[in-house]
Structure formats: structure tokens, C-alpha cells
């Protein structure tokens, strides 16, 4: 479980990155969405224990994320968007790094590399940005950590690479593990998300599961915009209208539409409905 307890963080230049962040997440796969500068990367750093909030705390499975205990740190990993992993090859890096991660699977690492068409012996300096990202993902998805944080993991991947990533991400998940993925490419992984964290301007607007959403909101497609809807989103020749849920609908969360609704002029109506 991840507990975000009134976290606030301000950079030395005075820029407010996080403002009173509160939320609780059980195991599962979560989308982290927000506009550029909303504080997504800072929040990932706070959860990973790499940024120490001026106020509040983040607790992961009962332990504050800012602990310096190596045994606890071996259960969390953050892969940043343009992360540098030292070593001649990804296998060289793994040989140095894996002793800190007791649940690392060499077998899964090899399978992930093979899925991406790599051996793991390719010189990292010779790899294109996309192939470098594939090497990194093949490794971190084999670490077996309780909490995996991924910042824009599909950036630089080609279409085939994104599909392979989706498949190996699915098979790498344990029932008790948690993955938080910060991405602007929501459609790449939308069917895998169990829930989401949605931010705007350093604030967390929503943190919860798809069940939390569908118990309060209904997503319905129609040929016309409905002015009575809480929010209406044009989707090609149709509209996706969002209504208060009656509890009887069979509905699926459209995470992109929910994000747009939370950033629209009607955002407070959506927030109020989600809070009921």
C-alpha cells in the first residue's frame, strides 16, 4: 500500500511542485497523468524517496520512503525518462546492480531481452534511443520489486516496441505489486490500468481505482453532445458523455476523457461527484 500524507514540496528557486498531496493506493497498475509541470516527476521522486518533502510523508508498505535502509530500498525502483545506467552493456550493469534487488529474475530478464530482439550484450553507447529504452525496460521489469515507478516508458519506442512492452509488463506484474506509470500516451496501456492519479498545477485531483470511478461516474457514447452531462467529449463522429452513475450501468472508464474532464471548466462537478 502507498499512503500519500499531505505532501508538499517546493524547489529552492521557489517553484511549488507539490501542494498538499493526499491519497492511498492498493496494489495494481496506475496511470499518473497531468500537464507539463504539474509535478508528476517530483511526485515519483517523493514516492521513491529521492525527494524529501518539506511537509507530509509517503509511506510504502508501512515504511517511510525516505528511509536509507538498503533492505527497504531494494523493493522500490524508479526508471526515469532519460536515465543513465552505467556499464558497457545492460548485462554488465545488471551484474553490478542486481545484488541490491533480491527478487531479480535472470530468466525473466533474458525473456524480456529476447522479446525486444536483444541479447543484453550490445554496447549501450551504440544503441539508438529506442533500443536503449528497450534494454532498460527489459531489466527493470525483471527486478521483481514491490513498487515500480516508470516515467514516460513508451517514449522513443516504435509501434512494435510499445506492444512488446505492454505484453512483458503484463507478465511481469505480481498480484501484490504496484506499478505507477507517468505517461502522456494513455492509449498505449489504457486497458491495463487498475486506477489512476491525476494532477493539475501541483495538486492531486484524483487518486483511486477504476471501481472508484465507475461507482460514481458513467461513460456513455452518443451521436450528440448532451448539455445535461457533467462533461461531453467529442470522439470522431460521436460524443462521450460523462454522467453521475446510477449504479446500474455497465461502463468502462475512459481515462483520457476523465483527464480532460478534470482539466475542463466543469472540473469541479467531476471532482465533487468522485468525492461522493
Beta bridge partners of 64: 59
Query: What's the confidence (pLDDT) of residue 83?
Result: 87
| The predicted structure's pLDDT at residue 244 | 95
Residue 273 pLDDT exceeds 70: yes
Q: Which pTM value belongs to this model?
A: 0.94
Please enumerate in sequence order all residues whose Cβ is within 8 A of that of 141, keeping only pairs 6 or more positions apart, or say none: 108, 112, 148, 168, 169, 172
Delimiting residues of CATH 3.40.50.300 domain(s) in the chain: 2-209
Highest mean pLDDT among 134-148, 220-234, 248-262 belongs to 134-148
3-class DSSP assignment, residue 263: coil
SS3 assignment, position 204: strand
Mean pLDDT calculated for residue range 226-249: 89
Q: For 63-114, how does the pLDDT look when each residue is reduced to its tens digit (9 = 90+)? A: 888 776 666 667 899 999 888 888 899 999 999 999 999 999 999 999 999 9
Over residues 160-181, the mean pLDDT reads: 93
- What pLDDT was estimated at residue 70? 63
253 torsion bin: left (phi>0), alpha (psi -120 to 50), beta (else): beta
Please report which confidence band the pLDDT of residue 177 belongs to, taking 50, 70 and 90 as the band edges: very high
The DSSP line for 35-72 is: -TTSSHHHHHHHHHTSS--SEEEEEETTEETT---HHH
Only one residue has cell 455497465, namely: 250
Whether 233 and 260 have beta carbons less than 8 Å apart is answered as: yes
178: left (phi over 0), alpha (psi -120 to 50) or beta: beta
pLDDT tens digits for 45-73?
A: 999 999 999 999 999 988 888 776 666 66
Which residues lie closer than 8 Å to 167 by C-beta, 6 or more apart? Answer: 115
Cα 50-162-210 angle, rounded to 5 deg: 70
Angstrom distance (rounded) from CA 129 to CA 114:
18
Write down the mean pLDDT value for the chain: 92
* Beta pairing class for 178-182 and 147-151: parallel
Check if CATH label 3.40.50.300 holds for domain 2-209: yes
> Where residue 185 falls among pLDDT bands split at 50, 70, 90?
confident
Amino acid at each position: 500500500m502507498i499512503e500519500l500524507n499531505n505532501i508538499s514540496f517546493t524547489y529552492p528557486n521557489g517553484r511549488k511542485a507539490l501542494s498538499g498531496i493526499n491519497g492511498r493506493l492498493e496494489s495494481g497498475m496506475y496511470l499518473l497523468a497531468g500537464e507539463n509541470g504539474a509535478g508528476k516527476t517530483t511526485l515519483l521522486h517523493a514516492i521513491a524517496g529521492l525527494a524529501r518533502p518539506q511537509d507530509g510523508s509517503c509511506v510504502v508498505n508501512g515504511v517511510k520512503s525516505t528511509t536509507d535502509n538498503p533492505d527497504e530500498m531494494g523493493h522500490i525502483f524508479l526508471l526515469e525518462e532519460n536515465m543513465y545506467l552505467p556499464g558497457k552493456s545492460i548485462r554488465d550493469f545488471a551484474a553490478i546492480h542486481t545484488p541490491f534487488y533480491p527478487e531479480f529474475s535472470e530468466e525473466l530478464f533474458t525473456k524480456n531481452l529476447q522479446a525486444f530482439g536483444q541479447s543484453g550484450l550490445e554496447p549501450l553507447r551504440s544503441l539508438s534511443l529506442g533500443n536503449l529504452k528497450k534494454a532498460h525496460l527489459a531489466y527493470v521489469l525483471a527486478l521483481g520489486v514491490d513498487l515500480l515507478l516508470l516515467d514516460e516508458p513508451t517514449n522513443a519506442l516504435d509501434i512494435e516496441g510499445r506492444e512488446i512492452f505492454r505484453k512483458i509488463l503484463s507478465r511481469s506484474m505480481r498480484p501484490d505489486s504496484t506499478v505507477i506509470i507517468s505517461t502522456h500516451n494513455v492509449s498505449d496501456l489504457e486497458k491495463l490500468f487498475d486506477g489512476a492519479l491525476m494532477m493539475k498545477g501541483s495538486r492531486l485531483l484524483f487518486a483511486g481505482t477504476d471501481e472508484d470511478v465507475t461507482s460514481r461516474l458513467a461513460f456513455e457514447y452518443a451521436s450528440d453532445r448532451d448539455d445535461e452531462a457533467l462533461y461531453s467529449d467529442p470522439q470522431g463522429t460521436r460524443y462521450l458523455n460523462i454522467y453521475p452513475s446510477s449504479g446500474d450501468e455497465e461502463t468502462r472508464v475512459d481515462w483520457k476523457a476523465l483527464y480532460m474532464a478534470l482539466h475542463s471548466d466543469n472540473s469541479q462537478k467531476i471532482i465533487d461527484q468522485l468525492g461522493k
